[in-house]
C-alpha cells in the first residue's frame, strides 16, 4: 500500500479508537441524548474503518470486532429512537397539543431504556486496537488501491438507488443504509482528495439527512400506532397527530425523490472513471484516434434541426430570463448544508434518521 495511504489509515485508526474510548467514558458519566448520539457516531466511524480494513485483510479477529460494535449499536437503537422522537414531539406541543399524552409516554419509555442501556455501556470493549493494528500490518505490503472499498460501497448505493420505488418506502431505506456505509468510508480517504469541492462532505450530510428524516417519520408513525392500539386512561384522540405526520412523511418522500439523483455527484461511477468534480474541471486530452474521429464528424454536413412548435401553455412554463426555476430553488434549499460540519453536527441522528431497524436493516447488519 502507498506510504501516504497507510499513514492515513494508521492515523485514522488511532483517532477513532481514542474517540470511541472518550465518548464511552463521557456517556457513562452523562447518558444524555447528545452523549448517546456522539457515542453511536464514534462506533459507526470505527465500524466503517473495520469494514474498510476487512475489505483488504479479512480476519476472524476483525469480524469479532465488527460483531461487538454492531451489538452495542443495536443495544442503543431503541433509546436513540425514543430520544429523537422526544425532541420532535416536544417541539410540536404548541402546534399539536393533542400530542402531549404521546410525549409523556415517550418520556417514561426513555427512563426505562436509559436504565437498560447504562448497563450495556459498561461492556464497551477496549480490546479493539490489537486486531486493527494487525490488519494495518497485513495491508502494509499489499499493492492495493485505497479507494477500492469506497468504490465498492458506492456501487452498492447505485444498485439500490436503481431499485427505488416511490410506492415502497423500504427501497429508500435500503439506499440510506448503503449510503451511510459509503459516507463513512469516504471520510477515511477524504484527506487524499486534494481537488475535492470543499462543500462535498456537507452535501453528503444533507443528502443522508433527507433519507434520515423519512425514517424519523416512519418510526414515529409506527410507535404512535403501537401506543394508540393499547388500552389508555387518557382517551385522547390522536388522529390529528397521525394525520400530521402522515402528511409530513409524504412531503419528505417527495423531497427525496426530487433530489435522489444528486448522489451521482458524490463519487466516480467506476474505478477507472474520473471523479465528478474532475469532469466538471475538464476531461483529459483525447487520444489521437478519438481526435481523428471527432475531426471526421465535424467535417460532415450538419443536419438542419427542426424547430419545435411551442404552444401558448408551454410558453407560460418557460422561466423568465434571470429568474431561477422554482423547482431548482426548492431542490437547492432541500440540500442546503447545515451550519455545522458533518463531523461535528449535533442534529438528531447525524443525518442518520431514527436508529430503529426494519427487517431489511436486520439483513444489512449481517
* Strand (E) or helix (H) holding 350: none
Tell me 349's DSSP state.
G
pLDDT higher than 60, residue 255: yes
The span from the CA of 271 to the CA of 153, in Å, is 12
pLDDT over threshold 60, residue 345:
no
What per-residue confidence (pLDDT) applies to 336?
Answer: 39
Cα 341 to Cα 73: distance, rounded to the nearest angstrom: 23
Q: Say how many CA atoms lie within 13 Å of 81 toward its Cβ.
A: 22
Residue 24: CA atoms inside 13 Å, Cβ hemisphere, count? Answer: 19
> Across residues 240-258, what is the average pLDDT?
96
Cell triple for residue 306? 427542426
Average pLDDT over residues 158-168: 96
Nearest to 65 by CA among 153, 146, 130, 137: 130
Q: What is the pLDDT of residue 99?
A: 95
List the end-to-end C-alpha distance of the chain, in Å, as a whole number: 28
> 102 is written with which cell numbers?
404521546
- In DSSP notation, 242-287 reads HHHHHHHHHHHHHHHHHHGGGGGGSS-SSTTSPPHHHHHH-PPPPP
Quote the CA–CA distance of 264 and 194 in Å, as a whole number.
Answer: 19
Query: For the chain, what percent of residues have pLDDT higher than 90?
Result: 55
Q: What is the DSSP string of 67-112?
A: HHHHHHHHHHHHHHHHHHHHHHHHHHTTT-GGGHHHHHHHHHHHHH
Question: Considering just the CA atoms, what is the radius of gyration of the chain in Å?
Answer: 24
pLDDT in tens, 71-121: 888 888 888 899 899 999 999 999 999 999 999 999 999 988 888 877 777
165: helix, strand or coil: strand
Helices (H) and strands (E) in the chain, counts: 14, 0
For residues 280 and 286, is the Cβ–Cβ distance under 8 A?
no
- CA-closest candidate to residue 54, choices 157, 204, 188: 188
Higher pLDDT, 363 or 237: 237
Answer yes or no: is pLDDT of 355 > 90: no
| CATH number of the structural domain 1-143 | 1.40.20.10
The domain limits of the chain are: 1-143, 145-230+239-266
What is the chain's mean pLDDT, rounded?
79
Q: Provide the whole-model pTM.
A: 0.73
User: Cα–Cα distance between 111 and 248 in angstroms, integer?
Assistant: 28
349 or 80, higher pLDDT: 80
Amino acid at each position: 500500500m502507498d506510504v501516504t495511504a497507510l499513514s492515513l489509515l494508521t492515523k485514522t485508526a488511532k483517532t477513532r479508537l481514542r474517540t470511541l474510548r472518550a465518548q464511552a467514558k463521557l456517556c457513562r458519566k452523562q447518558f444524555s441524548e447528545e452523549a448517546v448520539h456522539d457515542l453511536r457516531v464514534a462506533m459507526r466511524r470505527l465500524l466503517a474503518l473495520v469494514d474498510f480494513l476487512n475489505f483488504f485483510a479479512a480476519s476472524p479477529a476483525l469480524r469479532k470486532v465488527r460483531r461487538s460494535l454492531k451489538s452495542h449499536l443495536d443495544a442503543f437503537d431503541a433509546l436513540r429512537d425514543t430520544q429523537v422522537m422526544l425532541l420532535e414531539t416536544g417541539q410540536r406541543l404548541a402546534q399539536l397539543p393533542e400530542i402531549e399524552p404521546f410525549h409523556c409516554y415517550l418520556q417514561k419509555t426513555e427512563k426505562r431504556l436509559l436504565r437498560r442501556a447504562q448497563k450495556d455501556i459498561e461492556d464497551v470493549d477496549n480490546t479493539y486496537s490489537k486486531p486493527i493494528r494487525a490488519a494495518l500490518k497485513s495491508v502494509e505490503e499489499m499493492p492495493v488501491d485505497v479507494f477500492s472499498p469506497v468504490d465498492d460501497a458506492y456501487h452498492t448505493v447505485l444498485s439500490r438507488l436503481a431499485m427505488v420505488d416511490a410506492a415502497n418506502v423500504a427501497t429508500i431505506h435500503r439506499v440510506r443504509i448503503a449510503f451511510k456505509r459509503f459516507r463513512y468510508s469516504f471520510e477515511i480517504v477524504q484527506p487524499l482528495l486534494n481537488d475535492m469541492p470543499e462543500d462535498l462532505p456537507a452535501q453528503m450530510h444533507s443528502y443522508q439527512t433527507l433519507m434520515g428524516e423519512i425514517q424519523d417519520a416512519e418510526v414515529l408513525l409506527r410507535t404512535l400506532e403501537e401506543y394508540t392500539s393499547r388500552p389508555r386512561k387518557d382517551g385522547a384522540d390522536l388522529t390529528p397527530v397521525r394525520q400530521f405526520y402522515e402528511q409530513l412523511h409524504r412531503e419528505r418522500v417527495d423531497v427525496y425523490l426530487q433530489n435522489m439523483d444528486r448522489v451521482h455527484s458524490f463519487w466516480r461511477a467506476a474505478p477507472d472513471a474520473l471523479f465528478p468534480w474532475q469532469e466538471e474541471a475538464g476531461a483529459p486530452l483525447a487520444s489521437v484516434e478519438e481526435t481523428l474521429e471527432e475531426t471526421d464528424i465535424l467535417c460532415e454536413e450538419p443536419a438542419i434541426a427542426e424547430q419545435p412548435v411551442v404552444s401558448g401553455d408551454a410558453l407560460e412554463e418557460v422561466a423568465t430570463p434571470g429568474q431561477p426555476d422554482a423547482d431548482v430553488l426548492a431542490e437547492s434549499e432541500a440540500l442546503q448544508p447545515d451550519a455545522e460540519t458533518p463531523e461535528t453536527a449535533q442534529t438528531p441522528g447525524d443525518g442518520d434518521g431514527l436508529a430503529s431497524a426494519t427487517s431489511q436493516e436486520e439483513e444489512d447488519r449481517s
